[in-house]
Amino acid sequence: MTGFETTSLEESDFELRLHEQFDDTIARDQRIEPRDWMPDGYRRTLIRQIAQHAHSEIIGMQPEGEWITRAPSLRRKAILFAKVQDEAGHGLYLYSAAETLGADRADLTQRLIDGRQKYSSIFNYPTPTFADVGVIAWLVDGAAICNQVPLCRSSFGPYARAMVRVCKEESFHQRQGYELLSTMMRGTDHQRATVQDAVDRWWWPSLMMFGPPDGDSPNSEQSMAWRIKRHTNDELRQRFVDMTVPQAAALGVTLPDPELRWNEERGRHDFGTPDWSELHRVITGDGPCNTERVARRRAAHEDGAWVREAASAHAATQAARAREGAAA
């Protein structure tokens, strides 16, 4: 054996110990922090998931943002403004969490506007009426809560901690949506019909937000083993249905699924199968608003170039002044 071989053996031994430490941290349900050693696959999976999550928050500002100038009252406008602004904040926390893994935010944004990274399929549907604003907040933010509450215990520290605050804000989003819908349901026949129409359009896409069925979700198992994810897509979807059915009854709207019924034996609701070919179409770029959403994000990024340049120039001036001050 040559000395070189011994060295490489020792190195791999070292790496093995790091890997054991990582596995042990996960097994003890403790957090992995950015300074810790982690397998490349874990880092890559997290960057992809967190980036997709961040992109979804930012693109998700568009469908509702379209209603800010047309909100029916100052109160509704203020609430909607606050909600859309929260989503921007969620995107920023998440891009920061991805940066702790070594990703570069500018690069992630470029990947989004080049169509090389995805965002949630749900934001590719249009918002033709103000009832859509309420239904998105009730169903889409509601589905996001089901997905994100378990992420507060995700194994990667910065992601888990970001989710705690995000989830608090998501509950406000869902509550204000529900309140808007219950106000409309107490209004005119036309308002009630508008709410029902929006529920009919958003119900199935909301169920698709949890991703493909477990049998078709090849990365889920590894993500669960790494405790990035805590529940499978189908488990989360079931939770969402069970949580939403009584709320729909209280509102007085019908969920558009003839197979939806309580199953006494399971103690859960049975429900129909979403059209998975539609999910596939929307994810691969052929949803009703994919082109428009990405084009708008690209335009916003290009229009904002001067802001980024000015901020960098300002930061450079400040740094130079600080250096001068320290030298003096």
Point out which residues bind Fe ion (CB under 5 A): 57, 87, 90, 141, 170, 173
3-state secondary structure of 268: strand
> Shortest Cβ distance from residue 138 to Fe ion (Å)?
11
- In angstroms, what is the minimal distance from the CB of 207 to Fe ion? 18
**84 or 184: whose CB is closer to Fe ion?**
84
Shortest gap between Cβ of 30 and Fe ion (angstroms)?
27
Nearer to Fe ion, 147 or 155 (CB): 147
Closest to 71 in 3D by CA, of 123, 125, 137: 137
Q: How far is the CB of 180 from Fe ion (least distance, A)?
A: 14
Measured from the CB of residue 97, what is the shortest distance to Fe ion in angstroms? 14
Closer of 57 and 132 to Fe ion (Cβ): 57
We find the least distance from the C-beta atom of residue 178 to Fe ion, in angstroms, to be 13
Contacts of 157 (CB under 8 A, 6+ apart): 31, 32, 33, 34
Question: Closest CB to Fe ion among 87 and 257?
Answer: 87
Toward Fe ion, which CB reaches closer, 38 or 84? 84
26/108 with CB nearer Fe ion: 108
Dist CA 81 CA 71 (whole Å): 10
Collect contacts of 191-196 with beta carbons under 8 A, ≥24 apart. Answer: 191/131, 192/252, 194/129, 194/130, 194/131, 195/131, 195/134, 195/135, 195/251, 195/253, 196/253, 196/254
Cβ atoms within 10 Å, residue 59: 24
